Chains A and B, each alone.
Chain A
Amino acid sequence: MQTAIMIVANYPLYIRSVPTQGELKFHYTVHTSLDVVEEKISGVGKALADQRELYLGLLYPTEDYKVYGYVTNSKVKFVIVVDSSNTSLRDNEIRSMFRKLHNSFTDVMCNPFYNPGDPIQSKAFDSIVSTMMVQAF
């Protein structure tokens, strides 16, 4: 079953996908999903200015994948791509996964030696993502 997690600030900060082959396709999927994220962000700003919901939900369904999005207040985008056939994951679980990711991402950002905008190279972050992928998929 294929899955990918990506963190993106319009360019990739962190990418992890299982299995690793066909990674390019994931890249394209995530890249194209940013269209929807951007549209959603601009839409949210207009309609509900004070909305605190960072989880964007299912971005768009493709034949093979489900693409979920999440955006932090500093407009860093988290994208989770799940195989369409994976029905065990509900919206709530995806949401909590994003929250966990966000917490971990915040820890990375708090690291004084991390330079915002650089690709994330953190063992702690890696292990959190790994456990998440093992648990969820």
Chain B
Amino acid sequence: MSPAQWDLPPELCCRPMAFVALTGLDVVYNAIHRAIWDAFCTNRRADRVPISFKVLPGDHEYPKCRTKRTSYEWYIPKGILKTGWMNKHLNLVPALVVLFYELDWDDPQWKEKQSECATKVEIVRTSLQGRNTKVAVVLIQKKTPLPPGEDLVASERASALCGACDLSGKSLFVLPHTDHLVGYIIRLENAFYEHAQTYYYNEIRRVKSHKEFLNKTTHQLLFVRHQFKMGFFSELKQDTQNALKYYRTAYSLVHELRAHETNMLEIKTMAGFINYKICRLCFQHNTPLDAIAQFRKHIDLCKKKIGSAELAFEHTAWMSKQFQSFGDLFDEAIKLGLTAIQTQNPGFYYQQAAYYAQERKQQAGQLCSHEPGVGYPAPDPLETPTGALDFYGQRPWRQGHQSIDPPDSEKEKQGILALQVKERDVLHSELIIALLSNAVAQFKKYKCPRMKSHLMVQMGEEYYHAKDYTKALKLLDYVMCDYRTERWWSLLTSILSTALKCSYLMGQVKDYITYSMELVGRGLLIVYKVDIVICDCQNEVPEPEPDCDPASVKMAQSLWSDRISLAGNNEFTIEVQDYVPFVQCKAKFLYPSFHIDEPVQLHVYVRADCPHPVRFSKLCVSLSNQEYNQYCLLEDASKEQDILEPSTQENMCLVPGKTRKYCFKFVAKTEDVGKKIEITSVGLMLGRETARYVYLNWRGGWGDAASSHETLQASRSFKRRTRLPEQQLDWDTVTIQSSTMIISRVPKISVQLTHEPPALTNEMYCMIVTIQSEEDTVAKDIKLTAGLKPGQDANLTQSTQITLNGSEVCDDSHPALLPDIPLGDLQPGQKPLYIHCVSTGSRILLFHVAYSVSATVEGKDITCKCHKDETVTLETVVPFEVAMKFVSSKFEHLERVFVDIPFLLMMDILSASPWPIELVNSEVQLASSMTAIDQPQSQVEGVTLQTSECASECFLLKCPPVQNGTSTVASGHYFISWKRKSAFAETSVVRTIVILPHVMVENIPLYVHAELPSFGRVRESLPVRYHLENRTGLVQDVEIGVEPSDAFMFSGLKQVRMRILPGTEQEMLYNFYPLMAGYQVLPQLNISLLRFPNISGQLLRRFLPSRIFVKVTF
């Protein structure tokens, strides 16, 4: 029996289609016939009727029909379904035989041809003796036929032909061989299809009619058979609904059969067939839930029908096949548009199929392990006379036997033995793997990554059993990391042990070491072979794993010794971040930064989790700058000695559960100042360099596949840390510091700044930098960088200038930061600096002193570059404020000034500086629109202003005439030269420019001024002369009146009206006679200009004195 024994027969799995035989076609030599045949059989798309055509010779022998039974009374059926039955109706017994015959209606030899055709029909009929198969004739004609009814000859001859061939008119067709061949063919085949359907309909009725003859006791098998046949014919008829109905009945009938050990296989086989048909039709009807329900029912019913215990593997094989074929059906339905879901997809059925295949393998292993002497039985009990079985699911050595007990117990034994021997040769693993890989493909599609991994593990294990270790290892290795990241240690352990066996049997040294390391490591549940690695290092073949195939072990051992003898094959590096090895490592720098003049310290903590102490031979740290690597190396000194000899270096031995600390120290290079040093990896060497050795490599100095979670858990934990004895550390408390910064040496100098803040705007502000060395040796190459600290407001950069030369005022060409002012070797000293701040506000100044000094670290001389930064925030304030105003000669505030009339410009300098300010000089530079009446001399020269003191000065000015009546004119500039009065440093004079305000100048039509003595005496005449000056080009009428006053008597014109010619001046003389002493208001002079009513007397009175001091006379 081949493995294909359990496969469903192809005639069951195909879609049944009506079978129509074509005869009379010579497809080999006749081109026309060939074309007709091609039109029938090519391009059969879904829209064409489901017929399977076959070309048969005219005298083809169809299967003989057995004589119809008239009574079933004495008939005892031998089985349920004959093996040939389905094939017979699919491919051998046609529903319709079509005879093709070349004959035109107007054929000259009509008579002869007609009789020849009739003969041919007769031959076909004879060979179909007893069948209900229909016969039809197709006349191949060269001419296009006329429309029906028009060709009288044709209709006459057609009826004649029908008569001759004993055909109904419906069974005669004409096929004109013209351009539209395909169209005709399609019409033809539709007609054939109708005939075929009638045929199958009759067949179903014929089978149904048998039912009344059957009785329930002896003909149980026939009930099933007939229902199945009706279902099958319905399918051929394309009546799937009824087919389903018949199959369902057949299915329930098959389980009503009396089942016993001898017919169990037959029942199950048939149940499987019918179930297959039902599920298939359900999927076809798009009712997948019905299909699933049917299948579940089927499995539940059949699960326990094991049959013969000696052939239990047959049951599991059958079960496996059931699941597999259902999976196939499901998958096919999905391909045709059905949507499956995560929890209901073909994968589950394949998985279950694989499960039963595994069961089968196990059972086969138990049942078929005969002693070597037992061979295949001599007369093959599985041989049948025809080479095949008559009925599905029967035993070859007792075909047709239906009673409970086997007819011949010896034969039965031989038969079972034959089956068992056959089963022994089945490649179970291949079957299992194929099913599993089907399932994997499905679960991948339906988002079940874990299920997929699980199945892959099973596949790997199956490959292992099949001794395909390479594939097994590949699969296991692939899924291992999933389980590792998901932290399912129990599962990982089992996978690892299989992988370990594989790698051992293949002699894969590196894999072997890796897996064994992980198995010994933490997290895993089993305590594995402990000193695997150590024994490994002895360059020996390791002990074989338990439960390995002895033959494979032998091969593996020779493989191992080959490997070992090969030189250069004994070095392995294992990157631990992908594994969970049994050694943990944490490397850290002691501090996040080290000064260049102190040694960099590095601690490496190593801990073993395995149950026994482990010795290692080398520990090395690689850093980002590889030059330091040589300092971070710990090597076993006893290089050449045997490893077993107790080493003097206890240091190199890891005790389980204890953390060991290794300290390294090195001096950083001066070039590395400001750079980061990182731990790129830590390597731990197990084994000897002379033999085989393994490097465990921790990238970044720590961490394997499990560390991150452990660190998280440790950080969450608030368990009290138990105090460990001296020299022992709690592993979880060791933090990681995988990089450090090398920073420059702490400078031993002091930088002092002496200055008097705040700075005053525009001042050359002096700051004295005092640098004092506290170094033990000479500080060389001192450089000072001073100025505005970079990174501040851009405006500050433009408004700050720095110079070393305080004697002259800076301009924009000076920078805001003076870099690298060389100071040479340090003589402790000072350096004055001048800062020119143009704008107010605070700014940060930076003083950076860099120097180099030689130092000794750990007996090494190095030149250290040191630097010290000093920053200071400098406030700049305005030194003083200048207020300016225009006043009249009477110190009255002036909104506007009048042409040619003198006025005063007053300056008030208000000191805002906290320091005294000395005003060196001041000067007014007038614009062209102003003239000074006398040579203005500075009145504040040499004045020193304390805080909030004020100095004032005034200048007498007048304005020359302006073009039109009024205009605004510029006045000019005011310069103040000043300096800070300071005892601290010599300060330079600063010239501050103040722009004088603009002023409105106005022409005045009449100018009045008075001439009077500076004082009067009581009762002494006081002559006052008023001058009225007409400044216009017009004659002016002026009215003048003097108001009486209590303080004065006076003589002169009290009220007068006069004319003043253009440009002339009128004089008015009054004699006042003061009556009282003291400041007296003069009698008021009222002037009104008749031409300029807007010039009021009040305005004009401004030009006149209003009061006079009267002295007392004695």
The answer on a CB contact under 8 Å between A11 and B486 is: yes
A66 at the interface (CB under 8 A from B): no
Residue B494 at the A interface, CB < 8 A? yes
Is A117 in contact with B712, judged by CB distance below 8 angstroms? yes
Whether B488 is near chain A, meaning CB under 8 Å from some CB there, is: yes
5 contacts between A and B (CB under 8 A): A11-B486, A12-B488, A63-B355, A113-B719, A117-B709
Which residue from chain B places its CB closest to the CB of A34 in the assembled complex?
A: B450
* A63 CA to B322 CA, complexed, in Å: 13
Q: A116–B717 Cα gap in the complex (Å)?
A: 8
Q: Which of B342, B348, B355, B488 contacts A11 (CB 8 A)?
A: B488
Minimal Cβ-Cβ distance residue in A for B483: A31
Give the CA-CA distance A35 to B486 in the complex, in Å: 13
Cβ-closest chain B residue relative to A39: B342
Residue of B nearest to A37 (CB): B450
Assess A35 versus B449: contact at CB under 8 Å? Given A27-B490, A28-B491, A117-B713. yes
Residue A89 CB within 8 A of the other chain: no
Q: Which of B352, B448, B718 is the one whose CB lies under 8 Å from A35?
A: B448
The 7 closest A-B pairs by CB, nearest first: A11-B487, A35-B448, A32-B451, A60-B343, A115-B717, A32-B450, A35-B450
A10 sits at the interface (CB 8 A): yes
> A66: shortest Cβ distance to chain B, in Å?
12
Q: CB-CB contacts of B704-740 with A at 8 A, as 1s and 0s?
A: 0000010011001111000000000000000000000
Complex interface residues of chain B between 481 and 506 (CB less than 8 A to chain A): 486-488, 490-491, 494
**Which one of A15, A60, A63, A116 has the highest number of Cβ atoms from chain B below 10 Å of its Cβ?**
A63
- A97 in the interface, Cβ–Cβ < 8 Å? no
Q: Which B residues lie within 8 Å of A113 (CB)?
A: 719
A31-B450 CB under 8 A given contacts A59-B343, A63-B352, A115-B719: yes
Known: A35-B342, A35-B447, A115-B716. A10 touches B454 (CB 8 A): no
Contacts A24-B490, A24-B491; A31 near B454 (Cβ below 8 A): yes
B1011 to chain A, nearest CB (A): 104
Q: Which residues of A contact B718 (CB under 8 A)?
A: 112, 115
- Contacting residues, chain B, for A44 (C-beta < 8 A): none
- Report the bound CA distance from A23 to B490 in whole Å: 9
Interface of chain A residues 24 through 63 with chain B (CB within 8 A): 24, 27-28, 31-32, 34-36, 39, 59-60, 62-63
- A92 to B424, alpha carbons, bound, how many Å? 48
For A117, list chain B residues within 8 Å (CB): 709, 712-713, 716
Q: How far is the CB of B440 from chain A (nearest CB, A)?
A: 12
CA distance A35 to B457 in the complex (A): 16
Given contacts A36-B342, A117-B716, 8 further A-B contacts (CB under 8 A): A11-B488, A24-B491, A27-B490, A28-B457, A39-B447, A60-B343, A117-B709, A117-B712
> How many residues of B sit at the interface, in one of the four size bands?
20 to 34
Contact (A28, B712) CB under 8 Å given A35-B342, A36-B342: no
Q: Which residues from B are CB-within-8-Å of A28?
A: 454, 457, 491
Count A-side interface residues using an 8 Å CB cutoff. Answer: 24
B→A interface (CB under 8 Å): 299, 342-343, 348, 352, 355, 447-451, 454, 457, 486-488, 490-491, 494, 709, 712-713, 716-719
Give the docked Cα–Cα distance between A117 and B487 (Å). Answer: 12
How far, in whole Å, are A32 and B713 apart by their CA atoms in the complex?
25
Q: Evaluate contact between B712 and A27: CB separation under 8 angstroms.
A: no
**Chain B hits for A62, CB < 8 A:** 348, 352
Give the chain A neighbours of B454 by CB distance below 8 A: 28, 31-32
Distance in angstroms from B604 CB to nearest chain A CB is 28
Minimum CB–CB distance for A18 against chain B, Å: 17
A27/B713 in contact, CB under 8 A: no
Q: Which residues from 115 to 136 on chain A have a C-beta closer than 8 Å to any C-beta of chain B?
A: 115-118
Given contacts A28-B454, A116-B716, A117-B713, contact A36 B343 (CB under 8 A): yes
Residues of A within 8 A of B709 (CB): 117
Nearest Cβ on chain B to A72's Cβ, whole angstroms: 18
Across the interface, A32 reaches (CB within 8 A) one of B355, B448, B494, B719, namely: B448
Contact with B along A96-123 (1 / 0, CB 8 A): 0000000000000000110111100000
CA distance A79 to B522 in the complex (A): 26
Nearest to A12 among chain B residues (CB) is B488
Residue of A nearest to B458 (CB): A28
Bound: A115/B715 CA distance, A: 10
Q: How far is the CA of A12 from the CA of B488 in the complex (A)?
A: 7
- Please give, as numbers and ranges, the residues of chain B lying within 8 Å of A39 by CB-CB distance: 342, 447
Q: Considering only CB atoms, which chain A residue lies closest to B713 in the complex?
A: A117
Q: A34 — which chain B residues lie within 8 A by C-beta? A: 450
| Chain B residues in 8 Å Cβ range of A23 | 490
Task: Find B490's partner among A12, A36, A118 (CB 8 Å cutoff).
Answer: A12
Which residue of B342, B448, B488, B717 contacts A27 across the interface (Cβ within 8 Å)? Answer: B488
Q: How far is the CA of A23 from the CA of B525 in the complex (A)?
A: 13
Verify A118–B713 contact, CB threshold 8 A.
yes
Name the one of A10, A63, A115 contacting B713, with C-beta atoms under 8 angstroms.
A115
CA distance A91 to B1020 in the complex (A): 135
- Chain A residues whose CB sits within 8 angstroms of the CB of B348 once the complex forms: 60, 62
Cβ–Cβ contact B450 & A10, under 8 A: no
CA distance A84 to B486 in the complex (A): 28
In whole angstroms, what is the CA distance A31 to B454 when docked? 9
CA distance A112 to B718 in the complex (A): 9
- From A24, A36, A60, A63, give the contact of B494 (CB < 8 A): A24
Residues of A within 8 A of B457 (CB): 28
Instruction: Say how far B401's CB is from chain A's closest CB, in angstroms.
Output: 33
A112→B490 CA distance, assembly (Å): 28
Whether the Cβ atoms of B451 and A35 lie closer than 8 Å is yes
Chain B residues near A10 (CB-CB < 8 A)? 486-487
| Residues of chain A with a CB closer than 8 A to B447's CB | 35, 39
Q: Write the chain B residue with the least CB distance to A15.
A: B490
CA distance A117 to B716 in the complex (A): 9
For residue A63, which residues in chain B have a CB less than 8 angstroms away from its CB?
A: 299, 352, 355
CB distance from B349 to the nearest CB of A (A): 10
- The CA of A39 and the CA of B717, in the complex, are separated in Å by 31
List residues of chain B with CB within 8 A of the CB of A59.
343
Closest residue of chain A to B720 (Cβ to Cβ) is A113
Find chain A residues with CB under 8 A from B450 CB.
31-32, 34-35
CB distance from A38 to the nearest CB of B (A): 9
In whole angstroms, what is the CA distance A39 to B494 when docked? 27
Smallest CB separation, A37 vs chain B (Å) = 10
Shortest CB-to-CB span from A122 to chain B, Å, is 15
A36–B347 Cα distance when bound, in Å, is: 14
User: Is there an interface contact between A31 and B491, defined as CB atoms closer than 8 Å?
Assistant: yes
| Across-interface contacts of A32 in B (CB, < 8 A) | 448, 450-451, 454
Among B450, B486, B491, B713, which residue has the most Cβ atoms of chain A within 10 A? B450
In the complex, what distance in Å separates the CA atom of A66 from the CA atom of B533?
44
Q: How far is the CA of A112 from the CA of B494 in the complex (A)?
A: 34
For A9, give the chain B residue with the smallest CB separation. Answer: B487
A92 CA / B770 CA spacing, docked (Å): 88
Rounded to whole angstroms, the CA-CA distance of A62 and B447 in the bound complex is: 17
Assembly CA distance A19 to B182 (angstroms) = 71
With both chains docked as a complex, state the minimum distance between the C-beta of A68 and any C-beta of chain B, in angstroms: 13
Question: What is the bound-complex CA distance between A62 and B299, given in angstroms?
Answer: 12
